Structure 1
Amino acid sequence: MPITTEPHVAAKPALTTTVAREYVHRAALSEVLLTGWNKTGRDAFKVTAQWPRSHSFYVSEHGMHDPLLLCETVRQASTLLAHVGYHVPLGNQLSWSRVQFAVNPYALRTEGTPADIQLHVTCSDIRHHRGMPVTMSMHMEAVRRDCLLAVASVRFGSHSPAVYQRLRAGKGDVNEVFAQAPQPPEPVSRSTVGRLRKQDIVLAPTPDRLRWQLRVDTSHPVLFDHALDHVPGMLMLEAIRQAGHAIEPARGGAVMPTSMDVSFNRYVEFDEPCWIEAEPVETAAPSSDGRRTIRVAALQSGLCAVNATAELTDTVSL
């Protein structure tokens, strides 16, 4: 009796793309880092991302990915999940109140291919108003090839257009505010902050060695991917990193922020100078592995808009 078999059909390869740019509040498709997501529990998710071997702003140096690329990934993941996981409308404004992260620097090493990242996300402390989340926290564990890359957490609020308009009363239309932002002052030297391009330097000098004016260049294609009515959080994280480098430049390597704890207390506005003040944190004994801690505050109109503690590591010690 003849035996018949089903014709062999080759398995189709899994195709990879990025999530919709609208879900991560990006205008440029090239700046979308996330490749997918799925729900793994009641308030738990897995988000996948890919880091390029080289990024125009979050530069891979000395064979290491930039830890602030992790922060941008966390920002995009929290924004994505707010929209797709909790149905926050795309028109709502999302604002950080606190961001924390700590990275394993040895898992940041660049390789011959882009880095595929998994984020395991747990959401908590969710406060609702009329059935819609208005504040929430997300804890994330970033994994690369089954190795823990980083832990991070973010707390943020969601504002409807009407609430945000009341919150930002007097600031006018976002495009008008953005267009009227003043030109940035001249920057500190490239060697002071470890940046090669003038456009990437976010600090301007003052007579005080540990005080700088925040340099806000709204033409920057990454930090200002689209029009905003205030200084974005990622620019403030970059200011913290550059202040750490300015306090004590690297010994032939690069200063890498291996952890940060940042509180966002107020919006940083375009139309008034913002001052970045930093100081080293004294320890009982100097670190033997190139790690040091700093405190940073961003002051505007006499008020503390952002305050942070950061641990910096010189890559020459890794």
Structure 2
Amino acid sequence: MNDTATHATSRPMPVAKDLVHKHDASQVLLTDLRRTGDDEYVITADWTDTVRLTHTEDSRRDAAVLLTETIRQTFPLLTHAGYDVPFGHHLLWDEYRYALDLDALAAGGSGGRPELHIRCYGIARRRGRVSGLSLDITVVRDGRRLATAHTRFDIQPAAIYRRLRGERGDSEAMLALARSRPLPPPVSGAGEALRDAVLSPTDERDRWQLRVDTRHPMYFDHPSDHVPGILLLEAAKQAARGVRHPRAGVTEAMETVFHRYVELDSPCRVDAQPLPDDQQGRARILVTMHQNDTLCFTALVSVAKNATA
């Protein structure tokens, strides 16, 4: 473990923006990291000033976005401060699933200082460096569990990443190309502020085009050569609320697989298909995203029984 990690786990410390891969320090949601055991950590977040991140008409939706972004920021923090991964390495999301307690989230709103209890396992190494990591996460606020989550991601050195990505690995060029094209219109009446709408309507039932605003302050806080994974998660959530299903509504749980990058240089199709209810009797929606007829992302969404749009 490096000096930063030793210091971070010995006592609470401010989390610098580079440790969570943010350019805008005001978007840093994590405040300190403590090691509590072998490959076990507690990370504290600060939700006292988060209105800058997302805006919707329903606080439950805000809380889900806020919680997912909070969890996402733990990935680079743990890899750098917990496992000595050098800056410049790339984190590649493989799978992610979560289950929310919507009542607990609604009771406290988007505020407070939740703690994320994290167990790391399945640690892969290449040439002495961590190259893959799984996390089990429990989010607690004031003694009440808000959510559980699991994720797996791979870690690649910059040289390998550039070789695999080729010309598409130039984030500035990819962003310039995306910004040279008109942004498709948002789905109307969805409840999000215009900037947060990530679906655009099509002429086909339960099908949309992914709407990628490369100037969005959270999704593109720093240059990226592809569509960020958290934007795909948000698109799946919006699709599950917009699908033509009698119980379409607010997402309570989601299981996702990132098959390949969604690129910035071509349209991405988003489809939603109702499935039989899950074991808890919740409506279940399969959301898929294809680009150039290739499957890029899959999400199995469970909708809260009493939280309709």
TM-score between the two structures when normalised by the length of structure 1: 0.85
What's the CA shift string for 1:53-86, capped at 9, x where partnerless? 6523434654545212111111101210011000
Larger radius of gyration: 1
**Structure 2 match to 1:302:** 293
Contact 2:20/2:73 (8 A) holds in 1 = yes
1:281-292 to structure 2, matched below 5 A, reads 281-283=275-277, 287=281, 291-292=282-283
Cα 1:250/1:188, change in 2 over 3 Å: farther
Equivalenced residues, count: 297
The alpha carbon displacement at 1:250 in A equals: 9.5
Task: Identify unmatched segments of 5+ residues in structure 1.
Answer: 1-14
Deviates more, 1:173-182 or 1:66-75: 173-182
Tell me: CA distance 1:215–1:63, structure 2 relative to 1, closer, same or farther (3 Å): closer
Change (3 A) 1:248 1:32: farther
Partner of 1:240: 236
- Give a deviation string over 1:82-110, Cα, whole Å, max 9, x none: 11000001111111100110011111025
**CA distance in 2: counterparts of 1:229 and 1:148, whole angstroms:** 35
Query: What one-letter code is carried by the residue in structure 1 that aligns with 2:159?
Result: A
Q: Give the conservation status (yes or no) of the 8 Å contact 1:37–1:47.
A: yes
3-state SS in 1 of match to 2:283: strand
Q: 248, 264, 272: which is aligned to 1:270?
A: 264
2:184: which partner in 1?
A: 186
User: Matched residue of 1:75: which SS?
Assistant: helix
Q: Residues of 1 paired with 2:155 and 2:264: CA distance? A: 22
State how 1:214-229 maps to structure 2 within 5 Å: 214-229=210-225
Amino acid of the residue matched to residue 188 of structure 2? R
Q: What amino acid is aligned across from residue 23 of structure 2 in structure 1?
A: A
Task: State the shift of 1:141 in Å.
Answer: 0.7
The one-letter code matched in structure 1 to 2:261 is Y
Give the 3 Å change call, closer, same or farther, for CA 205–112 of structure 1 in structure 2: closer
1:27 aligns with 2:23: yes
Q: Distance in 1 between matches of 2:172 and 2:55?
A: 29
TM-score normalised per structure 2 = 0.88
Query: Percent identity over the alignment?
Result: 37
Question: Could you list the per-position Cα deviations for residues 278-317 of structure 1 after superposition, in whole angstroms to 9, with x for gaps in the alignment?
Answer: 1111339995xxx421100010121110001011226657
Matches within 5 A, 1:1-318: 18-52=14-48, 54-59=50-55, 61-64=57-60, 65-109=62-106, 111=108, 114-182=111-179, 183-191=181-189, 193-197=190-194, 199-248=195-244, 255-283=249-277, 287=281, 291-313=282-304, 316=307
Q: 1:171 to 1:79 in 2, by over 3 A?
A: same
Query: Which of the pair is proportionally richer in helix?
Result: 2
The 4+ residue runs of structure 1 with deviation greater than 4 A are: 15-18, 60-63, 110-113, 248-251, 284-287, 314-317
Structure 1 residue matching 2:35: 3-state secondary structure: strand
Q: Which runs of 5+ in 2 are unaligned?
A: 1-10
Distance 1:284 1:33 in 2: 33
1:201 alignment partner AA: A
